[in-house]
A = this chain, B = another copy of it.
Amino acid sequence: MLDLTQDVRALTAAIVDIESVSGHERALADAVEGALSALPHLKVSRSGETLVARTQLGRAERVLIAGHLDTVPVAGNLPSRVDGDLLYGCGTSDMKAGVAVALKLAAGLPEPNRDVTYVFYDCEEVEAERNGLTRVARDHADWLAADFAVLMEPTDGVIEGGCQGTLRAEITVTGKRAHSARSWLGVNAVHGIEPVLARLNAYEARRPVVDGLEYHEGLNAVGVSGGVAGNVIPDLCVVTVNYRFAPDLSIEQAEQHVREVFDGFAVSIVDAAPGARPGLTHPAAAAFTAAVTGAVGGEPRAKLGWTDVARFSALGVPAVNYGPGDPNLAHQQGEYVALSKIVESERAMLDWLST
């Protein structure tokens, strides 16, 4: 049974020491469920290894605080150990420190100034189809209803608003095979991608300001492949491009843009995920920003990578990333979190929800 009255630093270590690699979160989910269910001010629901706990105070606003329970595979870095201000171990930064902060809030704030929904979910580190949020959004969308959400992924204690969307497409150029000794009888598809690359090189990425944050787009080749044999003129060449688009565009608009850039070429969309607006203009978000910047300093910035905040955005819930971990340490064998950052993060969140 997890003791939610202990210091947030000790609680982080306790959670880290319950191994929870993706697909094996049951022990931790059980421990979290046991601890939350003991709190009379929360209504706890469970779907698989995902827990949702809600205050039901009838406040005018509801905010959502979320963290995933799983980690990447352990790499000889458990149990956790403390060295000065640093807590080492698998999942310390990504993102059990954030989970510990959320659990402390859940236990310590029976009457927050806003209704709060706490979400602890499974399988974030693996394919989207297994992600607990995917399942809950599909089966119990009402559990996730809120005016604003904070995903406590590692951001080094700075608010990272929303996230950019991502779209991958294949640009295919065809030609005609021929023996390379008589190349003029063929049409070289590899030579044919020159204008595709020229458009990529000439591309000027947008840097739009969305809800007060400046995003930075990018359109890039992430792969190219073509060739039949060392003596054959290739009849096929495929350039795979990745468009990272600011959250003022929908997937449909992003696709339209890519098709326009490569007008005249065969464009096939491989996959896409929407962005998320930061929603920092919402009153709950403004209060959150004031609390965090008051406690920690550091102006909010745009999140450029894709995160689960996009799932909240898709449900109509503006969302930000904010957590004590250092994102650069995620998934590394030497992963750690600064204990002082966890405390700082807990204080900022308490300020936001209690004053």
Contacts and interface: CB of A to CB of B under 8 A. Distances in A.
B218 A223 contact: no
A81 interface: no
A15 interface: no
A110 interface: no
Give the copy number.
2
Nearest to A232: B222
Given A184-B216, A305-B179, A227 B242 contact: no
B222 A180 contact: yes
A229 interface: yes
A181 B194 contact: no
Interface residues of A, number: 45
B191 A194 contact: no
Contacts of A197: 190-191, 193-194, 197
Contacts of A229: 222
B190 A201 contact: no
B166 A218 contact: no
Interface stretch (A22-30, A134-142, A233-241): A233-241
A220 B234 CA distance: 9
A190 B239 contact: yes
Given A201-B191, A218-B180, A223 B231 contact: no
A265 interface: no
A200 interface: yes
Contact of A181 (B164, B221, B231): B164
A304 interface: yes
B242 A304 contact: no
**Which of A188, A221, A226 has the most chain B CB within a 10 Å cutoff?**
A221
Given A201-B191, A216-B184, A305-B179, A222 B242 contact: no
27 contacts: A166-B180, A166-B181, A166-B231, A168-B230, A180-B242, A181-B304, A181-B306, A182-B218, A182-B304, A183-B220, A184-B216, A184-B218, A188-B220, A188-B221, A191-B197, A191-B220, A194-B197, A194-B198, A194-B201, A221-B227, A223-B227, A223-B230, A223-B234, A224-B225, A224-B227, A230-B242, A230-B270
Interface of A: 164, 166, 168, 179-184, 188, 190-191, 193-194, 197-198, 200-201, 205, 216, 218, 220-234, 237, 239-240, 242, 244, 270, 304-306
